[in-house]
Structure 1
Amino acid sequence: MTAEYFQRDRRWHPPALTPDYKTSVARSPSLPLLSIENSLSEITGPTFSHAALGGLDNDLILNFTGEPAIGERTVVHGRVTDETGRPVKGALLEVWQANAGGRYRHVKDGYLAPLDPNFGGCGRCLTDEDGFYVFRTVKPGAYPFRNYSNSWRMAHIHFSIFGAGLTQRLITQMYFEGDPLRDQDPIAQTIPDPAALDRLVAPLDLNASVPLDSLAYRFDIVLRGRRQTVFENKLEGA
């Protein structure tokens, strides 16, 4: 069945221009945005299947070299739904993050924390028939960035969610319950409603933890509607 989408609450998402987050000043558009019609190929493909994924794609602890990465072993799981609570099956989730010391495996990351030779920092998985996903990783560390003299990013994991088409890609970040940097992180603080930021914070889920192995956090994602998960690339409209 199909129906009109629920109206997005524009107060729920951060404005493109947030001067306290320094780089948004140069990045934010200065002219009204244009809506461009998508082609059929953009809205109907590709189709993702488990056959395209490797056996360790959702295991960031082992998928870089096969040897275990260093850090707090962590399971992240959750469910992807639409605005009515219906599961979104077959969605491709891609994740990337810093290592346990707060450093990315990226040529432009010059933070003095060492690289972990066994941690690549990225992975992917598909949602199942009921919209559930799971992956294993190490908890990322906080790191400084040049927003002002002593600005820090709290621990986070980046999420990319693909729907049924190439243009249906949404990007967000997941934070961890109890992080002391929550109220100091300039990027997190661009979100105007504290309740919206709450939706990006994954609570500890001891029921899903692996005894003597890994803690678990649950991060549920809502793709549309009035209480949609805040997405970085959906700041402009409905």
Structure 2
Amino acid sequence: MTAEYFQRDRRWHPPAYTPDYKTTVARSPNLPLLSVENSLSEITGPTFSHAGLGPLDHDLIRNFTGEEAIGERTIVHGRVLDQNGRPVKGALLEVWQANAGGRYRHKKDGYLAPVDPNFGGCGRCLTDEDGYYFFRTVKPGAYPFRSFSNSWRMAHIHFSIFGAGMTQRLITQMYFEGDPLRAQDPIANTVPDQAAIDRLVAPLDLEASVPLDSLAYRFDIVLRGRRQTMFENKLEGA
């Protein structure tokens, strides 16, 4: 199939106004969204290369201080694909997450879990010729989320995917297979279709795990199509 765009199944996407996710009450738009065409300069650059990456950018266990962070040593890997399953090479992936105790390294994170002095919580890498990417990190902890009494966010990693330039950016979250908090996570459950949430869950991948070292999870990202990965900032009609 050679069509430039594939129709999106809108039943998969949560409404912008979702009262159970309280911040949408103030943040959701009151008027229909508009898609704005990118100019040539926006879709052709700036491009990304390995020259801008450090040797430990993909290694969240060591890239903050050089010393190792505390937590369950974890590999997250997969491929970035287009709607026809073709690899997307040279895409810049950035990730950020809470530490093993469920706390972000952010001045406004007031959760009582301790800050790991050796964990910065962010990393980046480029996909290779096969669209493949690889991160090493610690599995993030759950944390309380003030949506309703005793609500918690399940463990997750935030993903940002850049295309050919800074204006081509998609954002999503990855969850872990078997998380017991899935049924009550106030953000994940704004998605109306459980099959759509399944696309955000990375299965355990023992074939890619490192014995006596790290467990691995595989998270493939599909950029477009009827069964694309869910993105938080996907434009209307795109």
The answer to whether the superposition gives a TM-score over 0.5 is yes
1:36 aligns with 2:36: yes
Query: 1:63-78 residue pairs with structure 2 within 5 A?
Result: 63-78=63-78
* C-alpha contact 1:170 1:233 (8 A) present in aligned 2: yes
Matched ranges for 1:1-238 at <5 A: 3-234=3-234, 236-238=236-238
In the alignment, the residues of structure 2 paired with residue 188 and residue 235 of structure 1 have an alpha-carbon distance, to the nearest angstrom, of 19
Could you tell me how far apart the structure 1 residues matched to 2:210 and 2:151 are? 34
Unaligned runs of 5+ in 2: none
- Contact 1:16-1:236 within 8 A present in 2 as well: no
Cα distance, 1:111 vs. partner?
0.2
Aligned partners of 1:196, 1:63: CA distance in 2, in Å?
33
Distance (whole Å) between structure 2 residues aligned to residue 201 and residue 37 of structure 1: 32
What secondary structure does 1:157 align onto? strand
1:19–1:237 Cα change, 3 Å: farther
In structure 1, the gaps of 5 or more residues are: none
Letter in 2 for 1:39: S
TM-score, normalisation: structure 1: 0.97
Report the CA distance between 1:2 and its aligned residue: 6.1
Q: TM-score scaled by structure 2?
A: 0.97
Between stretches 17-26 and 128-137, larger displacement belongs to 17-26
Q: Which amino acid aligns with 1:25?
A: V
Distance 1:82 1:38 in 2: 19
Q: Percent identity?
A: 89
One-letter amino acid of the counterpart of residue 148, structure 1: F
Residue identity matched to 1:37: E
CA contact (8 A) 2:49 2:90 kept: yes
Q: For the residues of structure 2 that align with 1:143 and 1:81, how far apart are their CA atoms? A: 31
**Local SS of the residue matching 1:183:** helix
Deviating above 3 A after TM superposition, structure 1's stretches of 4 or more consecutive aligned residues are none
